[in-house]
Structure 1
């Protein structure tokens, strides 16, 4: 197995979708709460990256198993150049790394991290595996947006402020008590909206491009139910929701004023949307959904970073 085939199997280029919320959450911990734990940062980055690679590998493996087209070489997974047993070994090792570092992160923080980790783990597995994988339903965009856009960002922020009672879980006198600072949790949710919308749009663009092939493989995704035209409209609207959210964040003084620079990305973004509208093909224009996600969120990251450096 070559390194190139491994990267293709775990789709290394798509890991940006999980690392950007992770970085944003870390930056907002620094900007809003003046808190950073380097040890937890390293541990979570390893666990997150390993789990993201594992879920992608599982998805590609399941697609191979469920594909209706006949395969010429039964001993190799088409497109990757290695055997089914090698694929399963990769998945097992990645999951082992993710779980091990997740447990270590829990030991360094508290049980909230464990609970969120378990829920995320189950969601990631159910997303790609089971009688009806979530990725094969019209709920794929919602799950990918919420879990990758919000949960990752929340957890990447929480590991630095776990002792500040934003969310706490206690057991005393045979009573379990969960307490939430609803205002702060809501603010963190607002921070995550641009990443949620961008990640949902990557999934949506993928499903728009694959809608005909998906039906042949018994995958009835959101574009199948909405129709391609309405799915394309939703694709555009989600980006605009992200821009509106940035303005709200600045008005509420959750984000620095310099974050408004993100609004300027609407010019190249609209050009990318137009290109995708005209020819939504996986091999040619799907990449624009990834470019749009990176464009908006990298500018967001840079603007918050500048505010931290200049102590704005």
Structure 2
């Protein structure tokens, strides 16, 4: 397998959807807790990227294996396995290697922190693999947007915060004589969820845009996604509302002083985001306008990360 084919198989350009939440959690940790562990940062980054690539490769593999429609853009051009004439054994070997790297780095990360990282990581691995594989892959159901948004947008942010402050008792598990005690700082977890909402909604909208673009193909391939259940018009309305909720969330967090005043810089992204929403409303195709959802996610969250970074070092 050539390097270009590998990069296409794992859709390297989409890794921003995991890297940005990872950076967001790191920036928030620096701002709110003034804490950073370089070793844990590197281990999580490698595990995260390797597993994200494995999930994407698995998704492409099962799209190829389960396709009912074996012609058109999504099959002949978009799916690299067909376009590059890749062997199934080669693709499966790549997936296995990536998962192995992710597991090894994740296990070392657990040894450096505590069992809660192992539990969260294990749950994330299971969800990631069942997202594309299994008898009923999550990506083929109306829950794809919810799972991708929560696990990539919130769980990644949470873990990327937790690996730096695991000894500060945000979540604490103690097992003693058959009794498991769990201590949770609910307020801090709510704050982490709220600061991660731009990532949660942005990633959910990437999946939503993808499914809106693929409605006709998905019906033919028996993928009953959210836009098929609620209809294209309602899906487009949801696409817009999720973006607006991001700005309301950030304004509230600045007002209650969870985020620095610099986070209001994110409001500067409103006009380009609205323009992209309007363009997507006019035409919904994987080839022409799907990328607008990715652009919205990147511009909102990059400014969010930078603003937190400025707050951390000012």
Fold match (TM-score > 0.5): yes
Q: Deviations over 1:231-279 (max 9, x none)?
A: 0000000001111110111112111011011011001110011111001
Shift of 1:70: 4.9
Q: Deviations over 1:57-107 (max 9, x none)?
A: 00000111101245899xx93023321111000000000000000000000
Q: Deviations over 1:29-68 (max 9, x none)?
A: 1100110000000000000000000000000001111012
Q: What residue number does 2:189 align with?
A: 185
**Are the aligned partners of 1:53 and 1:94 in contact in 2 as well (CA < 8 Å)?**
yes
Q: What residue number does 1:53 align with?
A: 53
Seen in structure 2, the aligned counterparts of structure 1 residues 70 and 150 have a Cα distance that, compared at 3 Å, is closer
How many aligned positions are there? 308
Query: Which structure 2 residue ranges, 5 or more long, are not aligned?
Result: none
TM-score, with structure 2 as normaliser: 0.96
Whole-angstrom distance in 2 between the partners of 1:3 and 1:221: 32
Q: What residue number does 1:196 align with?
A: 200
Seen in structure 2, the aligned counterparts of structure 1 residues 44 and 287 have a Cα distance that, compared at 3 Å, is same
- Pick from 245, 248, 254: which aligns with 1:244? 248
Q: What residue number does 1:101 align with?
A: 105
TM-score, with structure 1 as normaliser: 0.97
Whole-angstrom distance in 1 between the partners of 2:276 and 2:70: 36
**Are the aligned partners of 2:9 and 2:81 in contact in 1 as well (CA < 8 Å)?**
no
Find runs of 4+ consecutive structure 1 residues off by over 4 angstroms. 70-73
Q: What residue number does 2:308 align with?
A: 304
Q: Secondary structure at the match of 1:293?
A: helix
Whole-angstrom distance in 2 between the partners of 1:307 and 1:145: 26
**Are the aligned partners of 2:29 and 2:161 in contact in 1 as well (CA < 8 Å)?**
yes
Is it true that 1:25 corresponds to 2:29 in the alignment? no
How is 1:111-130 mapped onto 2 (pairs within 5 angstroms)?
Answer: 111-130=115-134
Is it true that 1:295 corresponds to 2:285 in the alignment? no
**Are the aligned partners of 1:9 and 1:80 in contact in 2 as well (CA < 8 Å)?**
no
**Are the aligned partners of 1:5 and 1:81 in contact in 2 as well (CA < 8 Å)?**
no
- Pick from 135, 147, 151: which aligns with 1:147? 151
**Are the aligned partners of 2:213 and 2:284 in contact in 1 as well (CA < 8 Å)?**
yes
